[in-house]
Amino acid sequence: MPVETVQIDTLVVGAGQAGVAMSEHLSRQGVPHLVLERNRIAEAWRTARWDSLVANGPAWHDRFPGLEFEGLAPDAFAAKDQVADYFEAYASKFNAPIRTGVEVKSVQRNSARPGFTVETSEGRIEALHVVVATGPFQRPVIPPIATQMAGVTQIHSAEYRNPQQLSEGAVLVVGAGSSGVQIADELQRAGKQVYLSVGAHDRPPRAYRKRDFCWWLGVLGEWDAEAVQPGKEHVTIAVSGARGGHTVDFRRLAHDGITLVGLTQSFDAGVVRFESNLAENIARGDENYLALLDAADAYIARNGLDLPLEPQARELLPDPHCLTQPILELDLVAAGVSTVIWATGYSVDYSWLQVDALDANGKPRHQRGVSSEPGVYFVGLPWLSRRGSAFIWGVWHDARHIADHIAKQRTYLAYRDAGERQCERDSQPSKNNSLMGVR
Ligand SMILES: Cc1cc2nc3c(=O)[nH]c(=O)nc-3n(C[C@H](O)[C@H](O)[C@H](O)COP(=O)(O)OP(=O)(O)OC[C@H]3O[C@@H](n4cnc5c(N)ncnc54)[C@H](O)[C@@H]3O)c2cc1C
């Protein structure tokens, strides 16, 4: 359907979970708005993830407050398509004004009148507010150390779908956050020889003393942390909901057959070099794991909860050989490695957003999503307001704050003093008269 030139109060760009949450809160506030999505609702969950992906948090947690997952036990982990279906159902629940298949090409501030001109694949839109909900994970990032190597296929985790997709041979997975670790585990279980390059990470227990880590991060206030702890800027989180959910345990992965290696340092003539920090990275991950158990025990004691002790959670497996005698370099061809999977994260693309809301590095300049360009907002970004901001649970709360901000601005703008109110009354035909006229 052509969009043509439309005037709207608020335009939301993107209909992933962030755009859907935004639309719900704008609707509640009575703000006229339109959501444009270039693909389908929650497309990233449908087609930009590997086949077996399930949510990292249980269904009771990884959802919006207003709707439960249909036909899924609260403690189960929703498959990626169930997550996409969920957001479609959520959007139809309140008739979200979403137009799919429409791409926003540019946003520019108007010079002689209020608001923004938005060029889309189907026409022009005039909007007073623009909310950028295009997601934190748009462009797969492969670090510049990667070089082409004959006989070795290199893909980003965003392109990985399943083990059958890969050619015969061993695999090097670079990056051991939730994506890298889950992909490495799946490949090893499918019979592949796997090398996993492990950097700095946190690895909370999947569950402890009958409560999931999502619950623990909630009651301990960690989802609400407002800033990354100093020194933790490059620390990923390794969690998994796969196979009913389990704690990510690098020693267990090594005992199952995965060869752990340190942070990937360089590629040179088919030889990959790894930093000698594997043991340190594993030790730091263990410290983080044990610290959460300590904090959980203290919380239980403080609140007098009757949750069973779980001393076995503190028993760590013996150090595997690859940890005590780490490989520092690997000749890929000699080791039979035919594929390298870069699970090294994503960046954003705001080339279409031609307003003063980005810093010199192209990163959004904002406070809790309210940008430096009046009228432009961001939602869904990591640490937008807190640790939970880029996750399903957290984005809903940030969206409420932004909708409140827009509604407040509209209220200020609608203010008229006594003289202006009188003028407006005088210029309008009397209600009684017009009613009498109709009757
Ligand atoms: C592998 C992986 C697993 C994850 N697992 C979990 C999990 O288990 N639990 C959890 O809470 N979070 C998880 N996340 C994090 C987060 O929930 C997802 O990344 C989620 O998709 C982010 O939602 P979003 O709406 O912010 O962005 P997206 O889902 O990326 O949605 C943005 C939308 O904007 C559209 N768009 C972009 N540009 C334009 C444009 N110019 N015009 C129109 N439309 C545009 C895109 O098509 C897209 O549909 C995971 C992330 C990844 C990468």
pLDDT digits (tens, 9 = 90+) for 233-248: 889 999 999 999 999 9
State residue 429's pLDDT score: 74
Residue 158 alpha carbon to ligand 1 centre in Å: 12
- Domains, in order of start, for the chain: 6-138+348-427 (3.50.50.60), 141-342 (3.50.50.60)
State residue 231's pLDDT score: 87
State residue 400's pLDDT score: 98
The single-letter DSSP state of residue 152 is: -
pLDDT digits (tens, 9 = 90+) for 112-127: 999 999 999 999 999 9
In sequence order, which residues have a C-beta less than 8 Å from that of residue 417 and are 6 or more positions away?
Answer: none
Mean per-residue pLDDT of the chain: 94
State residue 5's pLDDT score: 76
Residue 380: CB within 6 Å of ligand 1?
yes
State residue 410's pLDDT score: 97
pLDDT digits (tens, 9 = 90+) for 61-79: 999 999 999 999 999 999 9
Assess whether pLDDT exceeds 50 at residue 436.
no
Task: Give the pTM.
Answer: 0.94
Of the pLDDT bands very low, low, confident and very high (cuts 50, 70, 90), residue 3 is: very low
Residue 47 alpha carbon to ligand 1 centre in Å: 11
Residue 38: CB within 6 Å of ligand 1?
yes
pLDDT, average across residues 258-278: 95
Q: How far apart are CA 339 and CA 156, in angstroms?
A: 11
Residue 310 alpha carbon to ligand 1 centre in Å: 36
Percent of the chain residues topping a pLDDT of 90: 92
Assess whether pLDDT exceeds 90 at residue 107.
yes
Q: Which of 338, 345, 324 is nearest to 136 (CA)?
A: 345
Assess whether pLDDT exceeds 80 at residue 191.
yes
Phi and psi at residue 281, to the nearest 5°: -65, -40
Assess whether pLDDT exceeds 70 at residue 433.
no
Q: How far is CA 233 from CA 36, 236, 331, 382, in A?
A: 33, 9, 31, 12
Atom 10 of ligand 1, residue of closest alpha carbon: 391
Q: How far apart are CA 216 and CA 210, in angstroms?
A: 10
Of the pLDDT bands very low, low, confident and very high (cuts 50, 70, 90), residue 308 is: very high
Residue 431 alpha carbon to ligand 1 centre in Å: 49
pLDDT digits (tens, 9 = 90+) for 309-345: 999 999 999 999 999 999 999 999 999 999 999 999 9
Residue 43: CB within 6 Å of ligand 1?
yes
State residue 118's pLDDT score: 98
Of the pLDDT bands very low, low, confident and very high (cuts 50, 70, 90), residue 4 is: low
Atom 21 of ligand 1, residue of closest alpha carbon: 44
State residue 144's pLDDT score: 87
pLDDT, average across residues 264-282: 94
Q: What is the dihedral of CA 108, 113, 115, 116, to 10 degrees?
A: -20
Q: Which of 285, 206, 215, 180 is nearest to 60 (CA)?
A: 215
Assess whether pLDDT exceeds 60 at residue 439.
no
Atom 30 of ligand 1, residue of closest alpha carbon: 135
What would the DSSP string read from start to end of 50-116?
-TT-B-SS-TTTSS-TT-PPTT--TTS--BHHHHHHHHHHHHHHTT--EEES--EEEEEE-SSSSSE
State residue 435's pLDDT score: 36
pLDDT, average across residues 168-195: 98
Q: Which of 46, 56, 130 to probe ligand 1 with, by most ligand atoms within 8 A of CB? A: 56
Of the pLDDT bands very low, low, confident and very high (cuts 50, 70, 90), residue 430 is: low
Residue 57: CB within 6 Å of ligand 1?
yes
Beta pairing, strands 259-261 & 264-268: unpaired
State residue 150's pLDDT score: 81
Q: How far apart are CA 390 and CA 301, in angstroms?
A: 31
Q: How far apart are CA 438 and CA 116, in angstroms?
A: 40
Assess whether pLDDT exceeds 90 at residue 51.
yes
Extract the tokens encoding 393.
């649970």
pLDDT, average across residues 356-384: 96
Q: How far is CA 262 from CA 86, 199, 274, 275, 396, in A?
A: 38, 6, 5, 5, 37
- Provide the CA 9 distance to its chain's centre, in angstroms: 27
Assess whether pLDDT exceeds 50 at residue 347.
yes
Return the amino acid letter for 75. D
pLDDT, average across residues 386-394: 95
State residue 45's pLDDT score: 97
Extract the tokens encoding 391.
């996750």
State residue 74's pLDDT score: 97
